[in-house]
Amino acid sequence: MSKNDKARFDCRALPYLETIGKPLPHADVGAALLRSGSSSPIRAEIQARSDLSFVEDVVSSLHAQISGNLTEADARSFAFAVLALPTVATQNGSRGEQQILQSVVVSGHPDDFDAEVTVRLRAVPGAPGTAKLVSADLGHVDAGDAADQCALVAKVEEWWTEFPMPNVLVPSPLPLRDWAWLGDPEHLGILEVPADWRVRVTRLGGVYGVAPLVVESAGQMLTWNVVDRIEHAVVLRGSKAAGELPTDSDVASADSSLEVTEWGYGGERFDAVLTQVRSHLLAEAVAASQPVPSSRMLEAGEVIYHRKVGNSRKFDRFDAGSTEPCGHGASAFKAWGGDKAIKGMARRYENFTAAMLVHCEKFPNCGMYGVQAARGGLKRTED
């Protein structure tokens, strides 16, 4: 690592999805970087006496990749954004040469797209420090599109593995619940399973600060007391799940508050399964990161549906809620218990009672809760 301890490192999924506005273009991006007060890794490696020719190399490389209505001024804006304002910033290397990666998603373009800007640099600490451009890449994304968001998160997962730094920021509170991956894809009929599949599963949660337990056998389930350590189980179905690991019902019956989701089937590609789980975890993390709304009174006859997005030791946390039930329909919701769920709903609704709590009967394959005010005596008055 660099001897300079002023650099700020971050390699997490949610910050990367937060776009920044396009900065004003600077005629001299290098000088602007020096006076920016940035704590990016590359800024921490250079001084006023450093050779800053690498900055113009970044500008030139980005300019060569722009199209449409964009100009060299836009390339200079992108260069300053990625060098001074990265949302992913990490490095590795010996005490000598450092490999630096910085990336950011910039919004606010007339062509109605967001720019994903990534640079790789090679820096040598010293007095003055020196840096060379390895690569600069400019891509077009829609940061509000779910598929593009998943693609961005997949890149962070790769960087998280490539730059395994112990001092990368860990968010608080964590955006995911403690979870486990249950199943060995190599023995469940999943196709094209890479040799490093365990690493790929681990980094699904690692980019949120919550790496999963990877459980490959029923023996491990028991030895590791898995059910007692998690709140969400991702079960790999495959084609031979029966007998390989406890079924989703077995897992759920061991702890009624445990959410179980099933993914994959025999003959499906491993990358496709990973994409589905990534999308599910991202949705949970985004929901958990939203501000907690203040409590309110339930109205007579009101029905609200929620998904659990987190928990504490004493109560569950739920999303903002919706009047729309899950795909199984309103008739699928039955009376439900669970002390932590009841306490969580009581924090959201001042007049909530335990009798109002319902849950989709398709549990554990569906994790939607509901609040039906009428069950607690808050019925609409007939006209």
Q: pLDDT per residue over 320-354, tens digit each?
A: 889 999 989 999 999 998 888 898 899 889 999 99
3-state secondary structure of 35: coil
Contact 361, 332 (CB under 8 A): yes
Tell me the CB-side half-sphere exposure of residue 111, using CA atoms within 13 A: 14
- Structure tokens, 154: 């997949």
Alpha helices (H) along the chain:
13-17, 29-34, 41-45, 53-65, 72-84, 146-162, 197-206, 218-223, 226-229, 248-254, 270-288, 339-348
- Structure tokens, 264: 């994959």
Kindly report, residue by residue over 189-242, the tens digit of the pLDDT: 899 999 999 999 999 999 998 889 999 887 888 888 888 888 888 888 875 544
- Structure tokens, 65: 């990749």
User: Which residue is associated with the tokens 């939203």?
Assistant: 290
Kindly report, residue by residue over 122-147, the tens digit of the pLDDT: 998 777 888 999 999 999 999 888 89
Q: Report the run of H or E that residue 350 belongs to, with start and end.
A: none
Q: Which of 26, 125, 28 lies closest to 77 in space, CA to CA?
A: 26
Q: How much is the pLDDT for 3? A: 44
Q: Report the run of H or E that residue 131 belongs to, with start and end.
A: strand 130-141
Contacts of 92 (CB under 8 A, 6+ apart): 1, 98, 99, 162, 163, 164, 165
Q: What span, in angstroms and rounded, lies between the C-alpha atoms of 275 and 210? A: 18
Lowest mean per-residue pLDDT among 94-98, 260-264, 278-282: 94-98
Which CATH code is given to the segment(s) 179-288? 3.40.50
In residues, how long is the chain?
383
Task: Give the model's confidence band at 6: pLDDT under 50 very low, under 70 low, under 90 confident, else very high.
Answer: low
Q: What is the pTM of this model?
A: 0.75
Q: What span, in angstroms and rounded, lies between the C-alpha atoms of 291 and 327? A: 26
Lowest mean per-residue pLDDT among 56-65, 90-99, 142-151, 366-375: 90-99
**Domain ranges across the chain:** 13-148, 179-288, 303-376
Task: Give the model's confidence band at 2: pLDDT under 50 very low, under 70 low, under 90 confident, else very high.
Answer: very low
